[in-house]
Each structure stands twice: as C-alpha cells, then as structure tokens.
Amino acid sequence: MARSTPALTLTLDRARGHWHRRQGLAEPGKGSLEEIVASTSWPRTLGGVDVYLAVRARLPSLRRQDLDEAVAQSRLQVIPAVRGCIYLVPRAQVPLVLRFAEDQSRKRIEKEMEKVGVPQKELADVGEAVIKALRKGPLTTDALRKALPEGVVRSLGEKGKKVGISSTLPPALRHLEFEGKVERTLDTGRLDTERYHWRLPAKNPFTGAKVPSDVAERNARLAEIFLRQTGPVAVASFAAWSGLSQRDARAAMERLPVVPVVVEGYDDEAFVLEQDVAVLKEAVPAATSISLLSFEDNYLTFHGGPGLLTELKHHGVKVTKWGNTKGTTLGDVKHVSARTLFDGDKLVGFWEFDPSSGTVAFSTFDPLPPKRKRAVQEQAQSVATFLKDDVGHARSFSLDTMEAVQERADLIKKM
C-alpha cells in the first residue's frame, strides 16, 4: 500500500462521475459480454429478471438469449461467490472466486458436518456417485437424488434440520462445486430462476488456472478486482461487499499498489489502484446517459447505498428498504427495494414495469427538461419491450409475483 504517497482529494461529484464510468454506464456497450461483466461488476442472480437488467444497462443491445447462451456455454457461470451469495461470474475469474467462497464457508461446513455426524469419507463416496450419475447428462438436485443408488444418500433427520441440511447430497454437491468437478447450468435454459441443473464441466475451471495457494493473497486478488470496478473505495465498503472482516479487508488492500484518496462526503480514506490515478486526475465530460437500473444494482450498493448518488436535496425522499437493514429515506437507506432511474450519474427517480399497460412507469423527484424526458421515455419503451417480448415478465426475485410488480408500478404512477 502506497501510504507515503500524498492523498488525492476529490469532490463527490468527481468521484461519482468516475464510479459511473467504471460501472459501464457512461458509455454502455463497449466490449464483449464477458469483458463487460468482468470489468464492471458481477450481477446477483436472485431468480428474477434483474440479472438481465443489470447487464443490459451496460450493454443495451443485450437479448435474453445472449446471456442465457453465455451460461450454457460456460463463458459466464452461476456460482457461490462473496458472502455465500450466488453471482454471475466470467469463466476466467471463476477459479479465484470459488476458492474465496470455499475459504469463507469451510469452517462453517466442517462444524455442520461434525454436528450431524457426517465424515469426509462419506461425502467423498456421495461425490463419486454423483459424478457417475451425471455422466449420463445434467440433472436437477431432485432428479440426481433419485438417480443415485439406494443407500448412497442418507437423511440427516432432526440433526440435519437444526443446521438446515436435509441429507448428505447438498454438502457433497457443494464440495464438488468448490472443486470445479460439477457446475450449475440453467434448469429451463433461462437465468430468471433459482432452479438449476447440475452437470459435469467440459473442462475443470482449475485446469491451468493460477490461483494463489495463500488465503491472504487470494483475498488481495479479489480486492484488486473490486478496486478496478469501484475505486476509489473505502476498506469498509470492500469488507461489506466481500464478507471479510475489516482487518482482513485492509490487509488485502495493503498487499496492492494503491493510493489513498479523500472523497468529500464519502470517506477520508478511500483507495484506488495506482494505475487509475491518472484517470482520476483527468477532466471528463458530464455523463449524458439515461439508465434504468436493476433492483439491487451494484452501482447502488458498492459504496454504501443510493444516498451518495443522489442530490442532497432529495435525501429526505421516503423509500421502502430491502432486507434486514436500517433506513427509510434515500439519504440513509443501504438497500432500496425500488428499481432506480439515473440521469447521467445521479439518481433522479424510480421506475417499474406496468403489467396492465405493458409499459414502464417512471417518476422523477424534479420535473425533467423536455429533451431529457424524451430520452427517458425512449429508454423506458426499450426496457418495456425487452421485458414484455423477450423475457415475458418483470418479477424481481424468485418469490416475487406480477401482482406485486403491478402494485409497485401503481405506487410509482401516484408519486
């Protein structure tokens, strides 16, 4: 960590412009699908349409089939990543991310197996049977269980219920996934589901991959990816995203060539990779893009919530929050449940698909100039056509319903 280098000082507007550009929103559509996901952010897969919306905001020409085919071909993979959550990750980064996910879960898994009395040898035997069964083709977890010889998988009974594991099959699959011996593919050929088929990979992602053997070095490699996507960023933001402790998050950054940055209104000690300092010092034109972002888009969450991306005068806007988090206004909420509308790099309102009309409803905090309003309307029409004709629904997550989507759209129309 280049602590001897004097800290840069940036206004929040300048930092926001840089974040917006790094997230691929200022000039959408540059690069291949895999390059865009690798360089901007890995989208969450929540069982709804927002994985498509997140990528499409950065690649407006995206068709649903494009993303689905990338997963079917293993160019992008659905894997456990940070904090045990499931993300869409480019193949080249999969080995590192799987090792990191395994690092985070290993102790918990070992304790769970000890509590339910499952030795490693038993899991290995289940794993061997799974690989043999999958040689005939991909199977869902239920179908796989039925395809295995009787007695290979056993129920864990009441002990298993206490730790949330019904049988020896889920931990065996998890181990195989961490080793790259099995991978998830799409149950219906689409990403808007949390149901997957398991299959044998055409090639183990670890073959020829250079993943550091040291845990601390793996943390540093992950921090480097995060800094490229989000810098300047605070240690606390990296810790919150990755699930690392503040100490381990800082130690990871200290292994990298970084420069301290003071971002007014954000953090007095943020960091950026040395290679990005020159870009931060450049004058950049104001962003003119219009973005209809996905629910829980990474641009909203990487630096602690939507408040940093919203003009101060709108911080008091009442919002509904998502998850077990604090905050009821734009200025203090960490995770907002609404889909957001951006004019350039600033959050200016909300949007939702309106099933009753087949259009996108949107509302802005302030009236937009006629030219900007027309630009929003054009984008809204494009997104509505994508959801209606290409995807076929607008459900945000696996338990969402079109009735709930309609309710959200009706609220926005009343704003």
What is the structure's pLDDT at 160? 82
Domain total of the chain: 3
Instruction: Assess if residue 326 is contained within a domain.
Output: yes
Mean pLDDT of the chain: 93
Instruction: Assess if residue 2 is contained within a domain.
Output: no
Do 313 and 227 sit in the same domain of this protein?
Answer: no
pLDDT single digits (tens) 99-144: 999 999 988 888 888 888 989 999 999 999 999 999 999 999 999 9
Contact 25, 47 (CB under 8 A): no
Do 170 and 47 sit in the same domain of this protein?
Answer: yes
What 3-state DSSP class applies to 9? strand
Do 143 and 178 sit in the same domain of this protein?
Answer: yes
Contact 359, 409 (CB under 8 A): no
Do 247 and 328 sit in the same domain of this protein?
Answer: no
Q: Which amino acid is it at 403?
A: E
pLDDT single digits (tens) 198-220: 999 999 999 999 999 999 999 99
Cβ within 8 Å of residue 263, ≥6 positions away: 10, 12, 15, 232, 270
What is the structure's pLDDT at 188? 85
Domain that holds residue 236: 8-27+212-281
CB atoms within 10 A of CB 264: 13
Instruction: Assess if residue 51 is contained within a domain.
Output: yes
Q: What is the DSSP string of 246-305?
A: HHHHHHHHHTS-EEEEEETTTEEEEEEEGGGHHHHHS--PPP--EEEPPTT-HHHHTTTS
pLDDT single digits (tens) 6-44: 578 999 999 999 999 999 999 887 788 999 999 999 999
Do 190 and 235 sit in the same domain of this protein?
Answer: no
- Please tell me the pTM assigned to this model: 0.93
Do 49 and 194 sit in the same domain of this protein?
Answer: yes
Cβ within 8 Å of residue 229, ≥6 positions away: 22, 23, 39, 40, 41, 298, 302
Residue 16, class by beta-carbon neighbours within 10 Å (0-12 exposed, 13-18 middle, 19+ buried)?
A: buried
Residues in the chain, pLDDT under 50: 4
What is the structure's pLDDT at 25? 95
Do 20 and 130 sit in the same domain of this protein?
Answer: no
Contact 299, 25 (CB under 8 A): yes
Instruction: Assess if residue 381 is contained within a domain.
Output: yes
Instruction: Assess if residue 256 is contained within a domain.
Output: yes
The closest alpha carbon to 205, from 187, 185, 181, belongs to: 181
Contact 237, 230 (CB under 8 A): yes
Measured over the CA atoms of residue 146, residue 147, residue 150 and residue 155, the dihedral's sign is negative
What is the structure's pLDDT at 47? 92
The closest alpha carbon to 234, from 277, 270, 273, belongs to: 270
Instruction: Assess if residue 92 is contained within a domain.
Output: yes
Instruction: Assess if residue 396 is contained within a domain.
Output: yes
- Please provide the distance, in angstroms rounded to a whole number, between the alpha carbons at the two ends of the chain: 47
Task: Show which of 177, 199, 221 is a domain's final residue.
Answer: 199
The closest alpha carbon to 41, from 63, 17, 27, 57, belongs to: 57
What is the structure's pLDDT at 281? 86
What is the structure's pLDDT at 324? 62
Which secondary-structure segment (H or E) carries 186?
Answer: strand 183-186
What is the structure's pLDDT at 5? 55
Instruction: Assess if residue 50 is contained within a domain.
Output: yes
